[in-house]
Amino acid sequence: MQNNILVINCGSSSLKFSLMNPVNGQIILAGLAECLLTAEAVITIKHQEKKISIALSDPFDHEVAIKFLVDYLTEHQLKKSVYAIGHRVVHGGEKYSQPTLIDEDVKISIEQLSKLAPLHNPANLQGIQAAEKAFKQTPQVAIFDTAFHQTMPKKSYLYGLPYHFYQDHGIRKYGFHGTSHYFVCKEAATMLKKPIEQCNIISAHLGNGCSVTAVKQGKSVDTSLGLTPLEGVMMGTRSGDIDAGVIFHLVEQLGYSLEEVNNILNKKSGLLGVSQLSNDCRTIEEAASNGNVQATLALEIFSYRIAKSIASFTCNFTSLDGLIFTGGIGENSMFIRSLILSQLALLNFHEDKLANETMRFGKQGNIAQSDSTPCWVIPTNEEWVIAEQTYQRLNQEQ
């Protein structure tokens, strides 16, 4: 097939890629370049059941990683099959609610939006520039993580702050994980055998970053992540919602610098901060099962805050088709799912224990009892959404 899409997800020190058939989601080749900008930089490519890992040579950067990938594609007669490149871009602000063909203006906008996503947008732009150099005329499309949430009404996305902060500086809730929430809701609609436009769903993406989204008639109407990925439920290393007054207390009474507080809330809190062990849910579950009190507490806070967020989003609906769990924890942790559902009995969520034990490691299905509100485990596939939307965007042009 000459219509493959190369999907690129570029972080500050990593570059994840997959070459995909955008129609059926088949992965032709996938891989990861990691530890970029360090002497340990390495690229791993999985192709035809084989996995190769090669150390990258100086200057160990994104451009070198893409160059290596292009050489590999050329050598295996795959380069000509690349119809277009789809980039995951974290922040599209209010400007981008659709897949967007990348040109000079779009790159400038992505750069300007770095104010709102200083850790992500500059890295995404680096990936775009490196791909441009290597692929020259191949069209590139940006798929924004915020785009799916651009349908939120003002009452959901505005904070109770002086209005001019929104008008003058764009301070509002944007939300993230949009491609993931969109994908799993589309899958749920297929299972419900009705168009997504007729589905009312709450979707919980629980990975290292976590978010809950209310999807009404196929559109995002509220989501837990905010201006930044710090708002909402508790996460692996991020606190989620706290009283904003805690920040003043840490600075004014306890003498922390703003930089330290930023680091504490983003990197030292959440599951890691409470458990004092790890941000990895598996490690914490194991410790909890061996009687570790802090680990048990971390899981209790984590699940309660997610259940509370799900319950609060039900005020958007008069009827609900179901709840979705996705992301590394949502797809695999029967323990967390069970804890969350046990706190949502009033909304008629009742776990089917056997189904909950079964739906793990890539399995998809309902884990609720037959007379309960459905609760599906659905493995996410953001890469496929990026490939599909890139392909569709280019075919719109013609």
Are 201 and 322 contacting, i.e. CB atoms less than 8 angstroms apart?
yes
| Residues composing the chain | 398
Q: Under the criterion CB under 6 A, does residue 237 sit at the interface with ligand ADP?
A: no
In this chain, which stretch among 59-67, 70-78, 308-316, 323-331 interacts with ligand ADP, using CB under 6 A?
Answer: 323-331
Residues 332, 361 contacting (CB under 8 angstroms): yes
d(CA 99, CA 144): 7
Using CB under 6 A as the criterion, what x/- string covers residues 11-50 for binding ligand ADP?
A: ----------------------------------------
Contact (Cβ atoms closer than 8 angstroms) between residue 20 and residue 387: yes
User: What b/e sequence results for 307-319 when a residue is b if at least 16 CB atoms lie within 10 Å of its CB, and e otherwise?
Assistant: bbbbbebbebbee
145 catalytic per annotation: yes
The CB-of-336 to ligand ADP minimum distance in angstroms stands at: 7
**Which of 14, 203, 332, 390 is close enough to bind ligand ADP by CB under 6 A?**
332
Segment interacting with ligand ADP (CB under 6 A) among 84-92, 100-108, 276-284, 291-299:
276-284
- Quote the CA–CA distance of 303 and 299 in Å, as a whole number: 6
Q: Kindly tell me which of 179 and 333 has the beta carbon lying closer to ligand ADP.
A: 333
Tell me if 9 is assigned to a ligand binding site.
yes
Question: Is 328 one of the annotated binding-site residues?
Answer: yes
Look at residue 194 and give its three-state secondary structure. coil
Does residue 87 have a known ligand-binding role? no
Q: Does the footprint of ligand ADP cover residue 281 (CB under 6 A)?
A: yes
**Is 282 among the residues that bind ligand ADP (CB under 6 A)?**
yes
What residue number has its CB nearest to ligand ADP? 328
Q: Which residue in 348, 339, 382 sits closest to 368, CA to CA?
A: 348
Q: Considering only residues 152, 188, 329, 377, which one is a binding residue for ligand ADP as defined by CB under 6 A?
A: 329
Q: At 212, is the secondary structure helix, strand, or coil?
A: strand
281 carries a ligand binding annotation:
yes
DSSP string, 42-94: EEEEEETTEEEEEEPPTT-SHHHHHHHHHHHHHHTT-GGGEEEEEEEES--TT
Burial of 198 (0-12, 13-18, 19+ CB in 10 A): exposed
Determine if residue 205 is labeled as part of a ligand binding site: yes
Rounded distance, CA 180 to CA 207, Å? 11
Phi, psi for 349 (deg, rounded to 5): -95, 120
Which residue, 106 or 323, has its beta carbon nearer to ligand ADP? 323
At 346, the amino acid letter reads L
Rounded CA separation 199/281 (Å): 31
From the list 61, 145, 222, 352, the catalytic residue is 145
Residues touching ligand ADP, count (CB under 6 A): 13
Tell me if 232 sits within 8 A of 211, measured CB to CB.
yes
Among 127, 226, 236, 374, binds ligand ADP (CB under 6 A): 236
Nearer residue to ligand ADP within complex by CB, 45 or 299: 299
State the pairing for strand pair 82-89/4-10.
parallel
For ligand ADP, which residue of 93, 240, 322, 327 counts as binding (CB under 6 A)? 327
Q: Which of residues 169-228 bind ligand ADP (CB under 6 A)?
A: 207-209
Q: CB 103 → ligand ADP: shortest distance, Å?
A: 30
Q: Tell me the binding residues for ATP.
A: 16, 205-209, 280-282, 328-332
Binding region for ligand ADP (CB under 6 A)? 207-209, 236, 280-282, 285, 327-329, 332-333
Q: Give the residue numbers marked as catalytic.
A: 145
